[in-house]
């Protein structure tokens, strides 16, 4: 590595024109204080620091003092005790080695003696287990589908009489006071909207017709493995093909059942929507019934409105829906019956008031003059009255 003197062989920059007197004075003063910085430097090699380092080490050795003797520390015998051989551990280890060797030997023998037919049999057994579980799931899905169809039809069958009962009810006005049964010639009062009722009854009949014609896919033929030579790869392969065909048939029937389930759900939803439309007609009917029977008890009027509102919130295909239809019908009948009772009381009061008015008028009317009554004995006719006897002088009385 070059020194600064190598880089600048001419020494300090000597340019009288460029260096001022102050700078030259400063350089001289630094040389006096620090000495010539280039006096001990060889022009071709850097100054070595080795002499200085050697002097430092020699000084350190001359100043070294012993620290004293450190007492030896006594330690117990740190030699590891000799391990005793345990007969039980040796036996277990030997048995483990023998077992591993036997397992390896058996595995090697099986690998050496394995045949393609054996591997194919394992594949066949796995397919047969899959067939068994898939068939059980398929039977369960088909059974649930059949139950759903039967339940839907039963619910529709139970709904029809309840719907019919909302067509009309015997008119309480035609039931004699004190009687509970309406006579054969009694009139009727409407409960539901006749047009809406006919529409929903037609929809119910169509719904039941569709349910009766609903087709449920049949299960595939039961699977059974035929006689197979376990040593024949050809026969085992044919059995695997048969099992695969059975699995394909199960998949096909499963897809059909899924389609049938979707179709049934869509049909149920369509009929349920028609029932909802029918139920929405009852609030207006209830409001009209309350207005037409304004003299009925307030609790009965509220009951009709509540029953109509419940119909709009209940699934009519359920037992609760059937009960709601019956409750609305009974509420309307009770409302009209109470109105009839109020009308009869009013009419009775009007008759009693008229009777009292007639009696009052009879008491305040003046008595007329009595008319003369004819005598029982008629008055004698003046011409027929007996005249006095006349005397003719001879003393005889002339008689007519």
What is the reported pLDDT for 327? 96
Query: C-alpha dihedral over 165, 168, 173, 178, to 10 degrees?
Result: -10
Helix (H, G, I), strand (E, B) or coil at 367: coil
Q: Answer yes or no: are the C-beta atoms of 173 and 186 closer than 8 Å.
A: no
Q: How confident is the model at residue 358 (pLDDT cuts 50, 70, 90)?
A: confident
Average pLDDT over residues 54-71: 58
* Half-sphere CA count of 202, side-chain side, radius 13 A: 6
Phi-psi region of 59 (alpha: psi -120 to 50; beta: other; left: phi over 0): alpha
Question: Between these two residues, 23 and 170, which has the higher pLDDT value?
Answer: 170
Q: How far apart are alpha carbons 156 and 133 in whole angstroms?
A: 35
B/e letters for 378-396, b = 16+ CB within 10 Å, e = fewer, are eeeeeeeeeeeeeeeeeee
What is the reported pLDDT for 229? 83
Q: How far apart are alpha carbons 126 and 113 in whole angstroms?
A: 22
Convert the pLDDT of each residue in 247-298 to its tens digit.
999 999 999 999 999 999 999 999 999 999 999 999 999 999 999 999 999 9
Using a pLDDT cut of 70, give the percent of the chain over it.
Answer: 63
Helix (H, G, I), strand (E, B) or coil at 226: coil
Question: Which range is least confidently modeled, 7-11, 178-182, 281-285?
Answer: 7-11
Neighbour count for residue 171 (Cβ, 10 Å): 16
Query: pTM (2 decimals)?
Result: 0.58
First to last CA, the chain: 218
């Amino acid at each position: 590595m070059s020194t600064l003197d190598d880089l600048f062989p001419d020494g300090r920059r000597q340019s009288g024109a460029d260096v001022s007197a102050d700078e030259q004075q400063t350089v001289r003063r630094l040389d006096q204080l620090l000495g010539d910085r280039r006096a001990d430097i060889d022009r071709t090699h850097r100054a070595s620091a080795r002499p200085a380092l050697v002097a430092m080490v020699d000084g350190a050795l001359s100043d070294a003092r012993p620290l004293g003797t450190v007492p030896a520390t006594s330690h117990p015998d740190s030699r590891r005790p000799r391990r005793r051989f345990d007969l039980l551990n040796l036996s277990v280890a030997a048995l483990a080695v023998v077992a591993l060797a036997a397992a390896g030997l058996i595995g090697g023998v099986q690998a050496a003696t394995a045949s393609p037919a054996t591997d194919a049999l394992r594949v066949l057994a796995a397919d047969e287990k899959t067939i068994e579980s898939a068939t059980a799931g398929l039977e369960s899905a088909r059974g649930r589908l059949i139950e759903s169809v039967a339940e839907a039809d039963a619910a529709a069958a139970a709904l029809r009489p309840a719907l019919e009962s909302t067509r009309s009810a015997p008119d309480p006005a035609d039931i004699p006071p004190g009687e509970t049964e309406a006579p054969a010639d009694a009139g009727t009062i409407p409960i539901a909207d006749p047009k809406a009722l006919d529409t929903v009854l037609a929809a119910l009949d169509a719904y039941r017709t569709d349910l009766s014609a609903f087709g449920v896919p049949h299960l595939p033929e039961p699977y059974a493995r035929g006689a197979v030579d376990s040593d024949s790869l050809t026969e085992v392969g044919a059995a695997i093909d048969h099992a695969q065909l059975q699995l394909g048939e199960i998949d096909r029937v499963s897809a059909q059942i899924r389609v049938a389930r979707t179709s049934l759900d869509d049909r149920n939803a369509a009929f349920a929507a028609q029932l909802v439309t029918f139920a929405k007609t009852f609030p207006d009917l209830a409001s009209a019934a309350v207005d037409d029977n304004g003299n009925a008890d307030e609790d009965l009027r509220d009951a009709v409105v509540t029953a109509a509102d419940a119909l709009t919130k209940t699934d009519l295909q359920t037992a609760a829906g059937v009960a709601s239809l019956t409750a609305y019908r009974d509420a309307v009948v009770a409302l009209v019956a109470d109105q009839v009772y109020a009308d009869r009381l009013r009419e009775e009061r009007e008759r009693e008031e008229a009777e009292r008015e007639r009696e009052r008028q009879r008491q305040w009317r003046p008595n007329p003059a009595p008319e003369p009554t004819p005598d029982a004995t008629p008055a004698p006719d003046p011409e027929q009255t007996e005249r006095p006897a006349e005397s003719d002088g001879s003393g005889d009385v002339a008689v007519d």
